[in-house]
Amino acid sequence: MKKILKRTIPVACLAATALTMTATERAEASNWWDSFKHEMHITYHRNNAWPQPFAELSAAQTRAPFEVMTHKGWALHNTIGHELFREGDGALTAAGRNRVHWIATQAPPARRAIHVLRGGSEQETDARIEAVRGALGHMHLNGPQPPIYITDVAPSTSSGERASRTSREALEKMLPPVLPQSNSSAATGG
């Protein structure tokens, strides 16, 4: 009989508590219970699927810095620097027009943005922007014109003379190609 009383007393307390609760309190308790069951359901399935949902997030977080580096690298690569504009009036040189043409037509479509290095004055910067717009206006482009941005970050460059000298030195130091020694017994089959 003691076992029966032990079991019936808590049930009776719960029943009495449920009867004394208002409708609002019962609705809140029901909402809490439904929310709790839902969270437990999600946690159960998340734990059973581990590590799959988290592997993609980790991979995305690992790639994020490299995507930033790639974006900044393309921005530097597509920067029209001081040497590609005429001094004083901000007009594009022939090499500058070629560079704008390459960016507008040959760069990957997602990377077709032209970055113009800020000039010494506002007038020079405005002249540079107008020169790039004029060059783009004379091109037959498939799709929209690439956007033009003003930047203060200058790409690192070197003179053509230095680049040529480095290439020549590398070619001079290169060993001549030599065919491997052949084994005469392997060539005759015996």
Q: Mind listing the pLDDT tens digit of every residue in the chain (190 residues)?
A: 455 545 556 666 656 666 676 767 777 777 888 889 999 999 998 888 888 778 888 899 999 999 999 999 999 999 999 999 998 889 999 999 999 999 999 999 999 999 999 998 999 999 999 999 999 999 988 889 999 999 999 988 777 888 899 999 999 999 988 888 877 655 555 5
pLDDT at 1: 47
Q: Which alpha helices (DSSP H) does the chain contain, by range? A: 2-20, 23-49, 52-77, 94-105, 122-137, 160-173, 184-188
The pLDDT assigned to 186 comes to: 57
pLDDT at position 61 is 93
Model pTM score = 0.59
- In the sheet with 148-151, reading across from the earlier edge strand, the strands are 79-80, 114-117, 148-151
Strand partners of residue 116: 80, 150
- Give the pLDDT score at 101: 96
pLDDT on residue 15: 64
CA 97 to CA 91: how far, in whole Å? 10
Burial readout 163-180 (b: 16 or more C-beta within 10 A, e: otherwise): eeeeeeeeeeeeeeeeee
